[in-house]
Chain A
Amino acid sequence: MYETIPADQLNTVGKKSGRVDAYEKVTGHAPYVSDMIMQGMLYAAVKQSPHARARIVKIDTKKAKALPGVRAVVTGEELQYRLGLYVVDKDILAKTEVRHFGEAVAAVAADSPLIAQKAIKLIEVEYEVLEPVLHPLKALEKDAPLVHPALGDYSYMEAAFTPVPGTNIANHTKIRKGDVEKAFAQAEWIIERQYTNPSVQHVPMETHVAIVRWQPNDEVTIWSSAQSPYTLRNLFCTAMKLPHRNVRVIVPYVGGGFGGKAGIGIEPLVAVLSRLAGGRPVKLMATREQEFSLLPCRSQLTYRIKTGIAADGKIVGQHMTMYWDAGAYADYAVNVTRASAYSAAGPYEIPNAWVDAYTIYTNKPFGTAYRGFGHVEFHWGIERHMDLVAKVIGMDPVEFRRKNTLKPGSHTLTGELIRTSTGSIDKCLDAACKSINYGKLTKAEKDRQKRTGMKIGKGVACFHKAPAMPPFTATAVILKMNEDGTVTANLTLTDYGQGSYTAIAQIIAERLGFPLERVKVAFDCDTDRDPYDWQTVASKGLILSGNAAILAAEDLLACAYDTASQALRCNKIDLAHDADKIYIKHHPESAVTFRQMAVGYAFPNGNGIGGPIIGVGRYIAQGLSHLDKATGQGNPALDWTYGAHGMIIEVNEKTGEYNILKVGSAFDVGKVVNPDSVRGQAIGGMMQGLGTAVCEGYIYDKEGHLLNPSFTDNKIPTAVDMPLEIECMVVETPQIDGPYGARGVGEHPMIGVAAALGNALQQSTGAEITHMPMRYEDVWRAIRHIEPVDNWITKSPFGSCKSSPQMQGHHPELG
């Protein structure tokens, strides 16, 4: 739809420019919800369950209510609302049963945070502790306790999901392509293995925070650190049975999200407290500990892959089973399951494929969207699998990949045809290999080995991802010209750090032919004022909002040309414009400036025409479809962003310690809009991926208590954890329907990082690690083929990794 323009004819897109929000942020002036204080505001606190599964026998709130300064106390029994993004399965506060450690059972609002904390301690809850179901595979067993016995009564989004009542299965997604059994029968090798990863936490630096004012006339204002103002409003109104016009969601600056703030979180609870307190605004800011258990995490995955390979190294068939641990509520996990199922094979052509992907309820904190939306987790499996398969069939892992990558003419698991314009995984793979000198050691590396006594290894991993979104996902941008000819854009795609607003401003400036300084993208999304956007997720913002921005700019110009043609008394077709004015092409001295027309043009005698210049751009994803529920066939992908990471590491084989020497990553971004933003996403995402690869993860005891809900016990990378060298590369295969050819790359840098590390470790030491994170002790164990200690559910927090698969040895194919 949007022709690509040669790079040398672009003025703003593709050029370096600072972030539009930099000044506010480096000065500390940018207002976040956590900074806001309202007149008469109360502070909320939450009573959380100390058990993974228990019946609530009694809650006594008398003492809390009697505490001076307490203005509202609420328990689940008083609230008749159920929430759910795709499966409506969650009460605002647990009612008769708590389903995970840290679940909210009661809440208070008080004059100060201190009083609220005191009141929480005074609430007495009597529990009857029940046996929790913690492991997703155990939850599938016949006699497993049901996390949601009433699953069959819940409403859910039927076009996309399939819950199985009477089980713990919140959703079962199927993909069927070709004939897998026949392919296996003809295969030279059949290799089956299993890969796992634990839950992890997003760790936005600003924890979840909301202020809600629910006035007695049922008009509600929500200030929230939410990523998706409209989805928040929609879910809120549906749960509370309020007309949408009554509810206003305002999102100012947000201190990071990574998917964890994508849906609805603490807002309904804060809202009911405000209503109980007579409409006073109530604020709740989650503590860091609460981020880990009150709020959702990323789901744990067990991924089993069985691959049939022909004598020439071509994959002929693949059977894939994903067990997604949803935790106690379905939230985004059902959609993570669906999106992962249709991308499950990675960027490879699988002529015959069979995928069963299950979302499984357990008694643990629930999973939600997290940067990559399942792709970090299953690419860990698929990309480790590629190396393990290559090892068995005696082929170089990169050569094996090259043989099987998706190429123009290939079909994806859902039957979508790959075209040249889809992008090139091969180019990304080549760039990553070149960046690390794949397959050999340089002289410097050999010298380094001698010097350090450590062994250098190199590994690569490929990946792909399409936005996971409804096929009819829509957005809009409104562009208003100000009196001085500058323009202000309104949209509800939020920018919580990704740099979207800078890119949108560049796109608008490019299309208008204005300098970037003349374009402002307004912060503070407000559902009462700004046009609709579905959600800020899925790396779809650049394409959808970028296109809407182009359309808004075109509409604004059309509006200005209308006025100009009257002011200059000429045909519109004869007009052209520069940054300041619209003029008659063949009489350029006949011109009218944007400033003269911005809020309506006045003739010398005072007659006015035109009115304020405004542009509206509406955009909806084109040509996508639901997936057939029985076969998974259909067209779900707005675009595919391909990429590859190459990694160089050095390992001490005696201790399992390792250092990351270099990461070289390449992404086919279609068209770079802002090089520094792309690089920022690339490095930030890679480091976040490295965190989950090296050290992050939830550890539970056998009763389902989360043992490490803090930065002390759940480390995230700091500057000292950086690779010694980072190289970021881009391939530009223009996306035909992308703005100036661009496609999204916000999530992608995080995908495949763990697998590249695992592959490099295997290449240097032979260690066949199939569980992430890969801590030094896990590497040490794997090098020695020491049976793993499966204590991600453990009695003690020591040693928490499983470094070789249960499947190993059970399968004769593995030898």
Chain B
Amino acid sequence: MKITVTINGQKYQRDVQESQTLLGFLRADVGLTGTKGGCGAGECGACTVIMNGEAVNSCLVLAVEADGATLQTIEGETVKGKLSPVQDAFARHHAVQCGFCTPGMIMTVKDLLARNPKPSRDEVIHGIEGNFCRCTGYQQIIEAVLDATGQLKESDKEGLKYV
């Protein structure tokens, strides 16, 4: 079946199999491999993209369901090579280790901030609850989000303590 989607502002038209997921479509058919797959079952959030303004697990969406949709993936987050404030904060705060959860995590945060531009620590925690990160233990991700939204208090910044 032929579908047309707008991804990061670009139009794509492709023939897809009916069983193809949006995740598979983005990665294999379009070649945008920034979006990752960690489970294929809607559990881990690695595959999160923004579809028509809302974060979705792209492994649970069929490509044909996305026909006519407007999508944003991690590849659209960087404009002219410049990191977005969230990306920049992730980089500065070591909110990235292996990096495999990162694209999905950033998409989830983007979605959260679109609805709630200054989330509290608790709101960040609940906002990213659906995204697994096995490496970081989440703390530096939360700090990055708070910093990106101008909310990181000096007292939160002391980090490692030397005793």
Contact = CB atoms under 8 A, between A and B. Distances in A.
B65 interface: no
Contact of B134 (A37, A675, A716): A716
B162 A729 contact: yes
B41 A676 contact: no
B94 A206 contact: no
B136 A684 contact: yes
A726 interface: yes
Given A672-B160, A711-B44, A499 B102 contact: no
Nearest to A684: B137
A262 to B, nearest CB: 15
Contact of B94 (A35, A253, A676, A717): A676
B159 to A, nearest CB: 6
Interface stretch (A21-29, A532-540, A543-551, A589-597): A21-29
Interface in B96-135: 96-103, 106, 124-126, 128-135
A710 interface: yes
Nearest to A749: B137
B91 A22 contact: yes
A719 B133 CA distance: 9
Interface in A242-279: 253-258
B161 interface: yes
Given A205-B46, A288-B40, A25 B136 contact: no
A185 interface: no
A81 interface: no
By secondary structure, the B interface counts as: loop
Contacts of A34: 36-37
Interface string B76-87: 011000010001
Nearest to A711: B43
B33 interface: yes
B139 A726 contact: yes
Interface string A81-124: 00000000000000000000000000000000010000000000
Interface centre among A31, A207, A497, A729 (most CB of B within 10 A): A497
Contact of A206 (B34, B36, B125, B137): B36
Given A675-B159, A730-B160, A205 B74 contact: no
A686 interface: yes
A688 interface: yes
A808 interface: no
A666 interface: yes
28 contacts: A21-B96, A24-B99, A27-B75, A29-B34, A35-B33, A37-B28, A205-B38, A205-B100, A206-B100, A255-B98, A255-B100, A288-B38, A288-B40, A288-B44, A431-B163, A497-B99, A497-B135, A499-B97, A675-B159, A680-B137, A683-B139, A687-B137, A688-B137, A719-B131, A719-B141, A726-B139, A728-B161, A730-B163
A19 B100 contact: no
Interface in A157-213: 203-207
A350 B5 CA distance: 68
B57 interface: no
A431 B94 CA distance: 25
Given A287-B40, A711-B41, A719-B125, A676 B93 contact: yes
Nearest to A687: B137
B138 A679 contact: no
A687 B91 CA distance: 21
B101 A727 contact: no
B92 interface: yes
B73 interface: yes
B69 to A, nearest CB: 19
Contacts of A31: 33
B140 A679 contact: yes
Contacts of B139: 683, 722, 726
For A254, A256, A257, A675, which residue has the most chain B Cβ atoms within 10 angstroms?
Answer: A256
Interface in B2-42: 17, 19, 27-28, 33-41
Interface of A: 18-19, 21-32, 34-35, 37, 114, 203-207, 253-258, 287-288, 427, 431, 496-499, 666, 672, 675-680, 682-688, 710-712, 716-720, 722, 726-732
A666 B163 contact: yes
Contacts of A258: 134
A115 B141 CA distance: 40
Contacts of A727: 161
Contact of A729 (B33, B106, B163): B163
B146 interface: no
Contacts of A30: 99
Interface in B148-162: 159-162
B67 to A, nearest CB: 21
B161 A25 contact: no
B142 interface: yes
Given A683-B139, A722-B139, A21 B161 contact: no
Nearest to B94: A676
A112 to B, nearest CB: 9
A257 B100 CA distance: 11
Contacts of A253: 98-99
Nearest to A285: B37
A718 B74 contact: no
Contacts of A711: 39, 41, 43-44, 132
A253 to B, nearest CB: 7
Given A21-B99, A34-B36, A499-B94, A28 B160 contact: no
B163 A205 contact: no
